[in-house]
Amino acid sequence: MSGISTHVLDTSRGKPAADVPVTLARLDESGLVADTFHGVTNDDGRVANLLGATSLAAGDYRISFDLTTYAQQHFTASFYPQVDITFTVGDASQHFHVPLLLSPFGYSTYRGS
């Protein structure tokens, strides 16, 4: 199944980050937002399919994690109220999993499976 999914892990707590609002934007050729899709991480920190019923298309995408409320609830301080990750889908027949590893003063991401 092709699509875009994500998983947010709070590495400072060793737990999934639940209830994080996530926005996926498909960008047009000039870098402007063409379409947007929304989700919220579940108790396991996951959003299984950000595109819903929309088919994945090749192109550039930006996934944004709104961390404001999560950080207020779980961190004494946080440097990142929002994290944006821009990536390119070359082969729309593949699945793209974009995890976010989060801590109060840093984050990491990679292309998962």
Q: CA 54, 55, 56, 59 torsion: positive or negative?
A: negative
Phi, psi of 100 (to 5 degrees): -125, 120
pLDDT, one tens digit per residue, over 88-111 is 999 999 999 999 999 999 999 999
* Cα end-to-end distance, the chain, whole Å: 12
State the pLDDT at residue 76.
83
pLDDT, one tens digit per residue, over 40-71 is 999 999 999 999 999 999 999 999 999 999 99
The count of structural domains within the chain is 1
- Edge-first strand order for the sheet with 59-66 is 33-40, 21-27, 59-66, 82-89
Spell out the alpha helix ranges (H) of 1-58. Answer: none
pLDDT, one tens digit per residue, over 4-47 is 999 999 999 999 999 999 999 999 988 888 889 999 999 999 99
State the pLDDT at residue 1.
59
Domain carrying residue 43: 3-109
Q: What is the CATH number of the domain that holds 80?
A: 2.60.40.180
* Closest alpha carbon to 4 in 20, 30, 22: 22
Q: CA 40, 9, 113, 66 torsion: positive or negative?
A: positive
